[in-house]
Structure 1
Amino acid sequence: MRRDVFQAIADPTRREIIRLVAHKKMNLNSVAENFAISRPAISKHIKILTECGLISIRQEGRERFCSAELNNLHEIFEWVEQYRQFWESRIDNLEKYLDQLQKEPKINKHGKRK
């Protein structure tokens, strides 16, 4: 089954695993020690992250180490970027509208301009 990065980041445990290994490579036991869930559950999360290309596993002697592959998050960035542009446009329009309102003459409760 082909998974995508959106499935990977949908789970908070997987997001936390990415955060942990983004700063330094960690062996599987070190990763698992950060969670109150079973080692097999962590292994399943790591498998999904590996299938999505967000983590790579490298064997070093008897240990297996996880490293983040953060370049593969570009797909999420590109998807979010389209909405950032949309909201920036909306906020720019709101700012123009508010500026226009401030420039209009004020009217007091008697209907006269201030």
Structure 2
Amino acid sequence: MKNKYKKGQFIKVKVTGIQPYGAFVETPDHVEGLIHISEVMNDYIHNLNLFLTVGQIVKAKVIDVSEDGKLNLSLKENDYFKRHERKKEKKSVLEELNQTDAIGFESLKQKLPEWVARAERIQ
């Protein structure tokens, strides 16, 4: 049987099961595949259930086809998951404070105008 799926191709797949290490998926013509947890997005994912659910249909990229025809897939180029990564890039002001910064009323007073200006640019 010749496999019709090729490396680099984008396909829609349905999530059929979720394990701590990845999500099992199936194509409309019943070819099975796996999206490893490291292929969902570039950020660290602790709980795959926060991003995928059984029955969900997602667009995935074929990164490999095994000899038995099973697919290894990636969601890293899926626009939805890319947008989710960008949201995480915006850190709160508190996360940006360095341990070496003197934290007190005077240093907060000095930083406040910078933080307000940045917040206004984001909105």
Structure 2 length-normalised TM: 0.30
Structure (1 or 2) with the larger CA radius of gyration: 1
Give the structure with the higher percent helix: 1
Give the structure with the higher percent strand: 2
Structure 1 length-normalised TM: 0.32
